[in-house]
Amino acid sequence: MAEQAESIDFAGFYTASATRVVGYLYVVLGSVAEAEDAAQEAYTRAWLRWSRVQAYDDPEAWVRTVGFRVAMSTWRKTRNRLTAHRTSTDGATAGSGAHVPEMSPDRLVVVDALRRIPAEQRRALVLFHMLGLTVSEIADETDAPVGTVKARLARGRKALAPYVSEFADDESAPPGSSSSSSSPPPSASASSSSSGEPSTRFAKKGMVSGA
């Protein structure tokens, strides 16, 4: 009976979180297939140790972290092959949302832009702007100091400025203004505080998952 209840609990967790996790990994990785593969592996590992994972404060964050690490490990092992493959297919992929449900043109633009910056910057930006985590929560999830997370967010926004108009607005702000600082940018409804509250900057580009 206990094993059956545990199985039901995991099934409920998977149903409630899988769309968000795959959506997060897709935006970070830029590939639906890689996102689904990484998520599948992460959920498999969660199932194998579910009695422990379910006791964590945030099992979904654990799955996201494992999925990201799985993907990064795969990338490191096959970097040359993937680079050659993407060089030959980027043109077709960037312009087609055939295999990406509910993928608006604006969202495709942002996903494509994110692929141009380092993985850790992508990860920080997506956790902050798409999933709504605070700087301190991102620091906990990525096992990085708060200062490092702020630097990744600032550098990522600067790198995206030529491709995403909202970040270009930050770059054009006068030095010392709140928009050009390393603290999170203002949200659509209210300014973010110095504590690192998340904004909805990507949400305006359709980045938020439907889950």
Residues 41-68 pLDDT 10s:
999 999 999 999 999 999 999 999 999 9
pLDDT surpasses 70 at 196: no
pLDDT at 198: 52
Higher-pLDDT residue of 106, 156: 156
Q: Which domains does the chain have, with CATH numbers?
A: 1-101 (no CATH), 103-211 (1.10.10.10)
pLDDT surpasses 90 at 125: yes
- Supply the DSSP symbol for 30: S
pTM of structure: 0.68
pLDDT surpasses 70 at 122: yes
Q: Where residue 82 falls among pLDDT bands split at 50, 70, 90? A: very low
- Non-local (6+) Cβ contacts of 130 within 8 A are 23, 24, 27, 202, 203, 207, 208, 209
- Residue 106 CA, distance from chain mean position: 16
Q: Where residue 14 falls among pLDDT bands split at 50, 70, 90? A: very high
pLDDT surpasses 80 at 189: no
- Non-local (6+) Cβ contacts of 75 within 8 A are 82, 119
pLDDT surpasses 70 at 76: no
Query: Which tokens in the block code for residue 131?
Result: 């999933």
Q: Where residue 36 falls among pLDDT bands split at 50, 70, 90? A: very high
Mean pLDDT over all residues of the chain?
74
Nearest to 47 by CA among 73, 31, 70, 66: 66
Q: How far is CA 160 from CA 24, 115, 132, 190, in A?
A: 18, 10, 19, 22
Distance CA 45, CA 40 (A): 9
pLDDT surpasses 80 at 80: no
